[in-house]
Amino acid sequence: MASLTFFTGPMDSGKSTLALQTNHNRAARGLAGLIFTAHDRAGDAVISSRLGLTHGAIEVGPEFDFWRYTVDALTHGKRIDYFICDEAQFYTPDQIDALAKIVDELQIDIFCFGILTDFRTRLFPGSARLVELADSTQVLQVEALCWCGKRATHNARVEDGIMVTEGEVIVVGDTEESAPAVNAEPGNVSYEVLCRQHHRRRMTAGRARAVSLGAEPLPFD
């Protein structure tokens, strides 16, 4: 029986790397798959891993119809054994419903990879629907680390060096502090993974360094 599997974890936990490895392993066994993504930091229609791996993909916009696309492809004789769906947090709940229907009605295995919560610590609608519908949800075992060394569980958005908790949900950036945003205004946007404690206190690595150089002690307690 086909299944819908959701792999999740914060940024830097290796989701895109695992997505590409999952595709490689199945393709090497002669299976035929389709790769999808949305709002990848490298641009449209590509999956990119921070380890430097990239692969072409089908870009999923808000109007993309998974069911129609799949039925049309099968009708025209295309073989499809599995889907790789990266950045699945950006898919709409209706698109997640369509993926579940494809698994059940067309018996195609679907592997989704995405972040659970946004920079405001709120569930992405796509991720919430995946948790509700997936046959299994697996938290990646590669631990992303906060600057303090604790396990990172939260994603922080940093604009011009300042952590923010309000704004547009989808603003593409990277996890390097100096990385410029893609289609983001104003200024530079980057993302950083933090433990819950430092996310609550808005204590990014940059702010921690600045405070450590001054007279004010770090507010750990």
User: Which CATH number belongs to the domain containing residue 51 in this structure?
Assistant: 3.40.50.300
Same domain, 126 and 179: no
Beta strands in 44-176 (DSSP E): 46-48, 54-56, 58-59, 82-85, 109-114, 136-139, 154-159, 162-164
- For residue 218, tell me if it sits in a domain: no
Residues 66 and 92 reside in one and the same domain: yes
Three-state SS at 34: strand
> Is 217 inside any structural domain?
no
Paired with 115 in beta bridges are none
What confidence score (pLDDT) does residue 178 get?
40
Active-site residue, from 59, 87, 132, 192: 87
Examine residue 144 and state whether it is found in any structural domain, yes or no.
Answer: no
Please indicate, yes or no, if residue 11 is contained in any of the structural domains. Answer: yes
Let me know if residue 148 belongs to a domain: no
Q: Is residue 120 domain-shared with residue 83, that is, in the same domain?
A: yes
Per-residue pLDDT at 211: 78
Do 180 and 130 fall into the same domain? no
Q: In terms of domains, do 159 and 114 share one?
A: no
Structure token pair of residue 61: 């916009």
pLDDT digits (tens, 9 = 90+) for 96-121: 999 999 999 999 999 999 999 999 99
User: Is 221 part of a structural domain of the chain?
Assistant: no
Q: Structurally, how many domains does the chain consist of?
A: 2
Residue span of the structural domain in which 166 resides: 154-212
Eight-class DSSP state of 180: P
Q: Rg of the Cα trace of the chain?
A: 19
Q: Do residue 63 and residue 168 come from a single domain?
A: no
Q: Are 174 and 105 members of one domain? A: no
Alpha helices in the chain (DSSP H): 15-28, 66-75, 93-106, 125-133, 196-200, 205-212
Q: Is 190 in the same domain as 94?
A: no
Of 139, 171, 187, the last residue of a domain is 139
Confidence (pTM): 0.79
Cα distances (Å, whole numbers) of residue 3 to 99, 113, 129: 10, 14, 15
Annotated active-site residue 87? The verdict is yes
- Residue ranges in the chain modelled with pLDDT below 70: 42, 171-187, 213-221
Residue 14 confidence (pLDDT): 85
Asked whether 152 and 139 are in contact (CB, 8 A), the reply is no
Cα 62 from Cα 81, distance rounded (Å): 24
Alpha carbons 50 and 103: distance in angstroms, whole number: 30
pLDDT at residue 220 in the model: 55
Which of 139, 168, 194 is the C-terminal boundary of a domain? 139
